[in-house]
Structure 1
Amino acid sequence: MNTIDLKTPGPSTRDRILDHAQKLIRLRGCNGFSYRDLADHVGVKTSSIHYYFPSKDDLLLEAVMAYSTRTLAALQAIDAKLPADEKLDRYVDMSVELSDGEEICLCGMLAADLASVPEQVAHEVQGFVQANESWLAKVLAEGRDAGTLHVRGDTETAGRALFASLQGSGVLCRLFKTNTRLRDIVGAMRIQPAVV
């Protein structure tokens, strides 16, 4: 019996443009590339990019929304039944997977470029940051209650501080070409069981 090989179509031109735009933003920031650079990476004409994203502001907004959707979906996919310290490990694993050592968080990069991004993009970046901080605060509360994580003060503040530490550490990981600094931050929060 002959079977028909139905191959899944590859990503659309729009998706490829968006994927490469996210990579360039994470590498260079929003002012570090042009539509010409993007066209060269994707292998299309700049007019094709303008067809899908008439302005760079449109491209930035779509890039943030796509990045945020993908990242927050991965965050929600972390098993809620895991102990808090393991959830934090998964969170760091996710951060490491999203980077090849050269790139940093897209929203972190755009936050650093805040003077160059339109208000709607800034609003989306804020939503991304707040969602991460809220998730981290919840996990920190679980860890404190279980006696596995050392948390000072209220968990909302601790969640903001942890997110900021991880974002800053991501920049330094890029500088030193290592991801160990991300893991060190979470490791320092662990309460080691007493040896008897």
Structure 2
Amino acid sequence: MEMDRNTVREALLEHAQTLLMTRGYNGFSYRDLSERVGVKTSSIHYYFPAKEDLALETVNAYSADVMSTIYAIDSSAPADKKLDRYAKLFGRIIGDGNQICLCGMLASDIDSLPEKVRHAVQSFYKANENWLAKVLAEGEAQDTLYAGGKPESTARALYAAFQGSLLSSRLFQTRARLDEVADTVRR
């Protein structure tokens, strides 16, 4: 039984995301992907002529999914509750403990990433940092979060801490390191 084109394309993107999250950009080939999806490498090239095309589309799909989840956090909730929900999102990214954020993993490969992929990863970071800065500013106004009067720079540090916590959670195989991050800005 042959899969239809949309199903093949979706399967390729899904498995590419897993491979990118667990092995990085340079840690897998189209052969690895073909074995997982059950198609020939020539079929992958049909959908994604170059690895750059596959990576860019994977990052864009991942980013759209993650950011829509973040933007769906109730805007009327208190800032500290928004931050809690954001932290839970990172907990879901870890999965069974062997994954980190797709864009965090790709950031470690930054020197070998094609320019378009690098820009997509940078955009993902900026979108997260901008959202966090707004939440931190609200939290300071509500006296529930502390950003030292500098929500933008605190947001960058906080986002870096979330990304780092995924790495150390994977390294030490414990989610506790992730749970501690949001506490650093609580009043």
TM range (shorter): over 0.9
Cα distance, 1:98 vs. partner? 2.2
- Aligned equivalent of 2:169: 173
Whole-angstrom distance in 1 between the partners of 2:40 and 2:148: 53
Kindly provide the CA deviation profile for residues 3-58 of structure 1, in whole angstroms up to 9, marking residues without a partner as x: xxxxxx9x611011001001100000001011111111112111111110111011
Aligned CA-pair RMSD:
1.5
Aligned residues: 183
| Aligned with 2:67 (options 72, 92, 101) | 72
Whole-angstrom distance in 2 between the partners of 1:42 and 1:178: 30
Whole-angstrom distance in 2 between the partners of 1:153 and 1:82: 21
Cα distance, 1:110 vs. partner? 0.8
Task: Tell me if structure 1 keeps the 8 A contact 2:90–2:162.
Answer: no
Paired letter, 2:128:
N
Match status 1:34 vs 2:11 = no
Runs (5+) with no aligned partner, structure 2: none
Which stretches of structure 1, 4 residues or longer, exceed 2 Å deviation after superposition? none
Cα distance, 1:99 vs. partner? 2.3
Whole-angstrom distance in 1 between the partners of 2:183 and 2:119: 32
Report % sequence identity: 53
TM-score normalised by L of structure 2: 0.94
Q: Is the deviation greater in 182-191 or in 19-28?
A: 182-191
Paired letter, 2:36:
H
Whole-angstrom distance in 2 between the partners of 1:171 and 1:128: 18
Whole-angstrom distance in 1 between the partners of 2:23 and 2:37: 16
Runs (5+) with no aligned partner, structure 1: 1-8, 192-196
| Aligned with 2:141 (options 136, 142, 145) | 145
Whole-angstrom distance in 2 between the partners of 1:45 and 1:93: 38
Paired letter, 1:75:
I
- Aligned equivalent of 1:103: 99
- Aligned equivalent of 2:51: 56
2:73 match: secondary structure: coil
2:58 match: secondary structure: helix
Task: Tell me if structure 1 keeps the 8 A contact 2:21–2:99.
Answer: yes
- Aligned equivalent of 1:20: 15
| Aligned with 1:83 (options 78, 88, 97) | 78
- Aligned equivalent of 1:45: 40
